[in-house]
Amino acid sequence: MPMAPVQTAPAPAGETKRPAAPMQSARGYEVKGVLQLDGPLKHGDYVWKDDGVPPGELLITVDLTAQTLSVFRAGYEIGVAVILYGADNKQSPLGTFPITQKNKDHVSNLYDAPMPYMMRLTNDGVAIHGADVKWGSATHGCIGVPTEFAALLFAQAKLGDRVIITDGQMMQLGDGVPAA
């Protein structure tokens, strides 16, 4: 069965803006290589290829418009996944965030929901975590990724690693992106 691209829709007119992130930094990040995909990814899909990629700084980018999360190590993309993100009434924030907490077996104290491989981004509960990523689903502001992908990311990520959440800005080969 051919894979269908992730469907996206423009934001409705008059939609409120997402809050900006508190962390600001002038450090840039250069993309040296991106994964070559066989075709578009669909909900629940991910690719992880880190063989031969040198150790180095980890950067996670999230594009809410494309509904994807990319993981870069030493400037090379090592993982990409289709995501879930915040529903209209509880939007995912935009900006740059450090990973401030990690918990493999976290359960949300607000929603009593499992959040496997949780990597916290904000003090009000927004995190990257494992989820059943399927069409039509959303989160309460978190970034949900396939649980197997979350386990791989959790093993690589450290406290303080940067996560850049955008709404349409994608990193391309050779791009340098400020971390703000």
The residues carrying an active-site annotation are 129, 142
Nearest C-alpha neighbor of 29 from the set 82, 96, 85, 81: 96
Is-contact 83 145, C-beta < 8 A? yes
> Over the Cα atoms of the chain, what is R_g?
15
Q: What are phi and psi of 105, to 5 degrees?
A: -120, 40
d(CA 2, CA 5): 10
Residue 56 and residue 75 in contact, taking contact as beta carbons nearer than 8 Å: yes
Tokens of 143: 């970034």
d(CA 13, CA 24): 28
Name, in order, each residue with C-beta under 8 angstroms of 144's C-beta and a sequence gap of 6 or more: 83, 84, 85, 128, 129, 130, 131, 132, 133, 137
DSSP H helical segments within 15-159, as ranges?
147-156
